[in-house]
Amino acid sequence: MSIHSLFRAALVSGCAALAIWGSLATPASAAKIEVINVPGSPLSLVMLSGDIVKGDSDRFYEVTKDLDRASIALSSPGGSVSEALSIGAQLRDKNFATMVLPDEECASACALIWISSYRRYMSASSRIGFHAAYTTVDGEPRETGMGNAEIGSYLTHLGLRVEAIRFITHAPPDQIALLTLNRARALGIEVYEQDGFSVTPPSAKPTLDAYVKKATSYLSLARDCSDLFGLDGQMLRRRGEDTIKQGHAEFGGDAFGRLLVMEVDVVKEDMRQSGFVGFCLNALKRVQTVDGQLVSSPSFDCGRAGTPTEQAICENPDLIARDRAMGILYRVILSDRKGTALSQFRSAQIQWSKVRNSCGSDQRCLISAYDLRLSQLGR
């Protein structure tokens, strides 16, 4: 059962079949934090509702400190920014999901908690709203630059781009900027979309940022890396161009074009820092994550894999790609060496093979071994 289905079942049944545990005594003005234990499920459900006030971060920690897997259902008009950011940092560190159920409200500081998660759930009727940070002066809300700077720094660490940060902090204190599903995608905020009991993941409805990264990755592979993996460069180019067309159609040429220009600079920096082979492996991983495996076999026949090392390579797409690149690079360099240089190159490769094979079936060890040798060959 999905996270969303578990919450809906809890609400519909009035929690009749659920055991509430881990709830702390709640001060009159504080948020209510309850952990709902679902029998037979490894997932804990945490309900956070009401105003967020000083001390709620500590209470959240005490309630959730022993939980391994949890999803946080939020229903709150907001409150203390510092408490919200602390709660957000805790749940992100523990990889908890956040959720605003249909027709529920999560505004201001509550919305900062929601956006902190790696996995954010909302529906078309969820009311998630943001506004600038403020303090109260003579009974009137006054926007605070220091508070907005703190929020901006926090959101930057979450990986949000500047347009998303502006949206989150631009509305004045007495107004709310509501986040819709389409707006989230345009701002690069990945959301798991709830519709009844079904959930659509971000991979099925990509953000503008995802389209841009996918397009640049395909075009980078076509331009620089197709030979390294033995892939069809024209096919890669077509996929990149098709992705650009899709992004233009969904988000408009201006928005897509601006982000594409920025992404080109990111690609150049990746090439500089990662080196040729590392850059190509990064680009390949990005497209394989969303479109499935492009490099389907290593440099040898997996049907004849006879050692634990060979079997481990055939089970891991990242190792398959590395072994394919290794085989192609080795043959290219081998054809260019003569005499003593050729003998030394062959000897070095044999020694590396022994190191690789000593990893056995340890895939982390194998990836490290391949990365070290590929970085040497790709210089």
What distance in Å separates the CA atoms of residue 116 and residue 97, rounded to the nearest whole number? 9
Tokens of residue 132, six digits: 């600038």
pLDDT at residue 3 is higher than 60: no
271-298: per-residue pLDDT in tens? 999 999 999 999 999 999 999 999 999 9
Using alpha carbons, list the distances in angstroms from residue 11 to 15, 36, 71, 104, 312. 6, 11, 15, 12, 45
What lies within 8 Å, CB to CB, of 138 at 6+ separation is: none
Is 93 exposed, middle or buried, given 0-12, 13-18 or 19+ CB atoms closer than 10 A?
exposed
pTM: predicted TM-score of the whole model, two decimal places: 0.83
Three-state DSSP state, 178: strand
Using alpha carbons, list the distances in angstroms from residue 250 to 256, 276, 290. 9, 33, 18
Q: Where in the chain is the domain with CATH 3.90.226.10?
A: 3-200
Local confidence band at 174 (pLDDT 50, 70, 90 cut-offs) = confident
Local confidence band at 377 (pLDDT 50, 70, 90 cut-offs) = confident
14-59: per-residue pLDDT in tens? 333 333 333 334 454 688 999 988 777 788 999 999 999 999 999 9
Residue type, 315: E
From the candidate CATH numbers 1.20.1440.120, 3.90.226.10, 3.60.150.10, 3.30.1120.80, the one assigned to the domain spanning 3-200:
3.90.226.10
Three-state DSSP state, 158: coil
Q: What DSSP designation does 76 have?
A: B
